[in-house]
Structure 1
Amino acid sequence: MKNKIAGLSLLLLFVAIGFVASMALGIVHIDFSTVVRSFIAFDGSREQLIIRTVRLPRALVAVAVGCCLALAGGIMQALSRNPLAGPEILGINYGAALAAVVASFLFGYTTLGLFAWSSFVGAGLAGAAVFLLGSLGRERLSSMKLVLAGATINLLLASLTQGILILNQQTLDTMRFWLAGSLTGRDVGLFMQVVPYMLIGLFLTLVMSKSINLLSLGDEAAQGLGQRIGWIKACLIGLIMLLAGSAVAIAGPIGFIGLAVPHIARFLAGADYRWILPYSAVLGALLLLLADIGARFVLPGQEIPVGVVTAFFGAPFLIYLAQRKGKTL
């Protein structure tokens, strides 16, 4: 217990260091004293304006999005009992992307607010469609049916999204950066609109951590311990929609955080989801902060979307997991 608390405290310290580094590092280098003065003695200088209006919102979004995606991934892996599962398996990313593309195509203009709310609605509808499809038939909703329904909806939504983008070049040009997953240009106002949903999802996830623990043992074992399997699964799918949907709404579809982070948390905290989930939340925030800092230095003089960085490091991790899983079959 003490070791886990100490480990979590150390990770929180790393998040704090990464948060400060995110405000100081970039194309315009800003020293630590200027970062501190921008909050205690703001003078309106160029560097302090960059910190207050650009880098602070960006760091806040990175922490919140990383936390939500990692928690959604942890829930998804417990729900499906599949180590390769992530929020993408419920069609959350492509549901959000399709809704944002359709909104941009229909209304003819693009704003972060339009992307955020349309994608949030799209993520919710996609998750609901997967749940309904997986519930069809005489048998109750199982992990296998959930995965198959998610894969089916995911392919459908991806095809529709690509089809609309091909038909409309203007929509493709305006949405290309958002679809890659980016933290650039997010302001505090937009963040404050979405953050209540994130906090509700975080709180409910921690409250349900005991039920998630039991469900990870398997449907039969959880039912034998008196758990209402159908109700718990419905609640967990709702939490995944809330967490991943709000994250995608504000930052676009960022991949691999939800897949990789729960495995790292499981390695550090053991098999108890009452510890895996808090560790995942903190690790997700830390890794997305680091990925966003790295995105500023990959190409000289310009930044790349953070989703490209997470995909670059996440792909080898996915290959490793797939090989490891194959050896255990």
Structure 2
Amino acid sequence: MSTAREAAAPGLVGTNARRSLWLLVCVGALVLVLLLGIAVGSKNIPLRTVVEALLHHDDSGDHIIVWQLRLPRTLLGLVTGAALGVSGALIQALTRNPLADPGILGVNAGAGFAVTLGVGFLGLSDITGYLWFSFAGAIAVTALVYALGSVGRAGATPIRLTLVGVAVGALLGGVSTGITLLRPEVFDTMRSWGAGSLAGRDGRTVLVVLPFVLAGLALALVAARPLNAIALGDDLARTLGARITRTRVAVITAVTLLAGAATAAAGPIGFVGLMVPHVVRWFVGPDQRWIIPYTIVCAPILLTVADVAGRVVLSSQELRVSVVTAFVGAPVLILLARRAKVSAL
């Protein structure tokens, strides 16, 4: 359990004025990274041409590439990155588990498993259909992992939640793979989704998931202040006037919306929700009122950079963004697990 001293820790950026300034810096970095995401690919497009295409679109080849291919992919990275990052921050705050994220706790696997069922047995092939399956899978696995991790005298400790989440995620991932192998003709159009990728999506995908992501982000911002109180323990949170049950319901709803929408749109992508909140806490401290806005900005930076790296690391083909985030995130998880004290929650 976090102590009051930990809750008051200022982080590397100690004052609100500095936090505001650095948040603006992060916003500027995000804009540059998004432009980079549009410019870099199998054919590199000069930034000047990218800006011209965005402001004064015509039917030239580079402008068509920008609007039909690169822009939808980059916007999906923006929306998906914010959703995955904030859902990870919320899960870590709610469970007081510094190793939690939607991937490690099996939430993404649950959403992916439900989508696999919808596609494999109901013939769904459009995001407007299997999006609701993704939400159902996310909320079901969230409840299941927390219930199984709470069994016993010790209750829902961070280590138990992590172990249960990894086990449930592995089980659902294996069953999903089995269903895919049994009915390969059904999943031909879903291969890119199943690998966790931003490629091959159009602007309609972004428009479908955007309202749910915005609703989840709004709930996260509203829940930020009471989450600070809950981090001090339930008893102290009640004395501070926090409505614990309402806050937990709001957080679980937000995680369901964010993780479910992100998984439906881009497939299972791990480690974003683990890494970004930790880095943010090192800078701004454990105050959720700053962690969540910073995560909204910084998580898309990580995901977009990973997507760009996947395009250029191999000359003949492209790495899925989920592979790049796993390549970076796995060592980070090991480092966090070995540290005697992770960033305070």
Superposed displacement of residue 136, structure 1: 8.3
User: Is 1:323 aligned with 2:338?
Assistant: yes
Letter in 1 for 2:177: Q
Cα distance in 1 between the residues matched to 2:222 and 2:60: 44
The equivalent of 2:55 in structure 1 is 40
Letter in 2 for 1:267: W
Structure 2: 5+ residue stretches without partners? 1-15
Identity percentage over the alignment? Answer: 41
Change (3 A) 1:15 1:293: same
Cα distance in 2 between the residues matched to 1:327 and 1:196: 34
Superposed displacement of residue 231, structure 1: 2.9
Q: Is the 8 A contact 2:226 2:243 kept in 1?
A: no
The equivalent of 2:94 in structure 1 is 79
Q: Is the 8 A contact 1:101 1:171 kept in 2?
A: no
Change (3 A) 1:150 1:317: closer
Cα distance in 1 between the residues matched to 2:214 and 2:204: 16
Which of residues 291, 294, 300 in structure 1 aligns to 2:306?
Answer: 291
Once the two structures are superposed, the pairs formed by residues 144-163 of structure 1 within 5 Å of their partners are 150=165, 153-163=168-178
Which of residues 213, 226, 232 in structure 2 aligns to 1:217?
Answer: 232
Structure 1: 5+ residue stretches without partners? none
Q: Is the 8 A contact 2:98 2:158 kept in 1?
A: no
Change (3 A) 1:61 1:223: same
Change (3 A) 1:52 1:327: closer
Letter in 2 for 1:54: L
Length-normalised TM-score, structure 2: 0.85
Q: Is the 8 A contact 2:30 2:301 kept in 1?
A: yes
The equivalent of 1:311 in structure 2 is 326
Which of residues 94, 107, 111 in structure 2 aligns to 1:92?
Answer: 107
Aligned length: 328
Once the two structures are superposed, the pairs formed by residues 236-255 of structure 1 within 5 Å of their partners are 236-255=251-270
Superposed displacement of residue 3, structure 1: 0.6
Superposed displacement of residue 262, structure 1: 0.3
Q: Is the 8 A contact 2:107 2:139 kept in 1?
A: yes
**Alpha-carbon deviations, 1:65-92, whole Å to 9, x = none?**
1111111111111111111111135432
Change (3 A) 1:152 1:22: closer
Moved more, 223-232 or 151-160: 151-160
Superposed displacement of residue 149, structure 1: 6.2
The equivalent of 2:7 in structure 1 is none
Change (3 A) 1:219 1:171: farther
Q: Is the 8 A contact 1:101 1:175 kept in 2?
A: no
Cα distance in 1 between the residues matched to 2:157 and 2:327: 33
Cα distance in 1 between the residues matched to 2:42 and 2:129: 29
Moved more, 149-158 or 46-55: 149-158
Cα distance in 2 between the residues matched to 1:153 and 1:188: 33
Length-normalised TM-score, structure 1: 0.89
Cα distance in 1 between the residues matched to 2:237 and 2:281: 20
Letter in 2 for 1:62: G
Q: Is the 8 A contact 1:100 1:114 kept in 2?
A: no
The equivalent of 2:138 in structure 1 is 123
The equivalent of 1:17 in structure 2 is 32
Q: Please provide the CA RMSD for this pair.
A: 2.8
Q: Is the 8 A contact 1:62 1:289 kept in 2?
A: yes
Q: Is the 8 A contact 1:80 1:144 kept in 2?
A: no
Letter in 1 for 2:43: V
Larger proportion of helix: 1
Superposed displacement of residue 169, structure 1: 3.7
Superposed displacement of residue 133, structure 1: 6.1
User: Is 1:4 aligned with 2:19?
Assistant: yes
Once the two structures are superposed, the pairs formed by residues 140-289 of structure 1 within 5 Å of their partners are 150=165, 153-171=168-186, 174-289=189-304
Superposed displacement of residue 139, structure 1: 11
Q: Is the 8 A contact 2:26 2:297 kept in 1?
A: yes
Change (3 A) 1:142 1:28: same
